[in-house]
Amino acid sequence: MGKRLYGIYRRVRFMRYKKKLIKGEQRDQETLQKETIKQVRPTTKRKSGRSKIYTIYRKIRFLYHRRNSLKRKKGILVREQIVLAKEEQLEIKQRLVDKRVQDKISKQEQKVQKKLTKTEVKKRRRRLLRYYLKRQFMNFIVFMKTIDKRTSKGLYNAASSFVHNKEKRKNHFRIFINSLSLFLLSYLVLYGIGMLITVWVARSFDYQTILFYYKVYYNIDTGDWTADAVKILYSIAPLTGLFFGTISLIIFSTFRNERGILKLFFLWGFIHGMIMFFGSLLMGALLNKDFGWVISYLYFRDTGKMIFSIFSIFALVALGGFTANPFLRTRLTLL
């Protein structure tokens, strides 16, 4: 029984092996036939032309599809960029809205704090005034209670010195009037010269101006301003103050040993000119107005503005110390 089964198994295996050989021979024959057909196939001009046209067509189609795919990718990228830009705009708008709301809230809080500080200052002033009046009243009562010969002699001497120093009081009053008049005259002259020069230069820029007694009004739109016009027009008044201040100092230094009150006019002119320049530099750097616009158009940053403000403060302090002695010397010439 085992020998028969083994013989059947061997026969089946032989048949499978024979089938594989037949299939392999068939494949070899098919490949040989294909190769012979390719070799025997005549290469005519017509078929070669068709193959070239077909390859060109395939290339054109490939390029066309490639271009379309690139266009699609670009379109997708552009759409994504547009969406991102819209989202950024929305975020910026939301930030601006939030900032406005915060600014309003901060302004309201500042107003409330200012009101509270004003009320506190008023209450403090009232308390101090009550305390001062009460203190003076108590001092007066104590003085009235402690009147004797010594205090009465002191009152008599004070009253007699006030009566006998009538000529000295007149001299002081005369000095005050002369100095005040020259002070006002020098200020008006210097300020008027600065405003007239500003109006004259504004005409060269074809700007219509209206001259008031306190400022120059430019009758133009905000878009008509240029950087050169801002730099020149808002720096004329301080520079004229500096120029005429130095000229006044030169004139005063030449005639300071002479008698007369006219030299005090030039001394006050020097002080007004220096204050007009350094004061406008200080306030412009701090408040960003008038001469500060010139500084901002010159593109100075916060460090530069801080340096200008510190320099102007030191210059004003030095000006006060420098002019104290000349004022004391010219006091006797005003009698």
pLDDT tens figures, 101-131: 888 888 888 888 887 788 888 888 888 888 8
pLDDT tens figures, 232-243: 888 898 999 999
Is 210 strand, coil or helix?
strand
What does R_g of the chain's alpha carbons equal in angstroms? 51
Give me the helix-helix angle, 262-287 and 236-255, nearest 10°: 150
Is this prediction's pTM over 0.85?
A: no
149 pLDDT more than 70: no
- As a whole number of angstroms, the distance between CA 238 and CA 306 comes to 19
21 pLDDT more than 60: yes
pLDDT at 193: 92
- In the chain the first and final C-alpha atoms are separated, in Å, by 162
Average pLDDT over residues 68-92: 85
| φ/ψ (deg, to 5) at 226 | -120, 165
Contacts of 249 (CB under 8 A, 6+ apart): 266, 270
Is 259 strand, coil or helix?
coil
* Partners of residue 217 on adjacent β-strands: 210
Tell me the domain boundaries of the chain: 54-155, 170-334
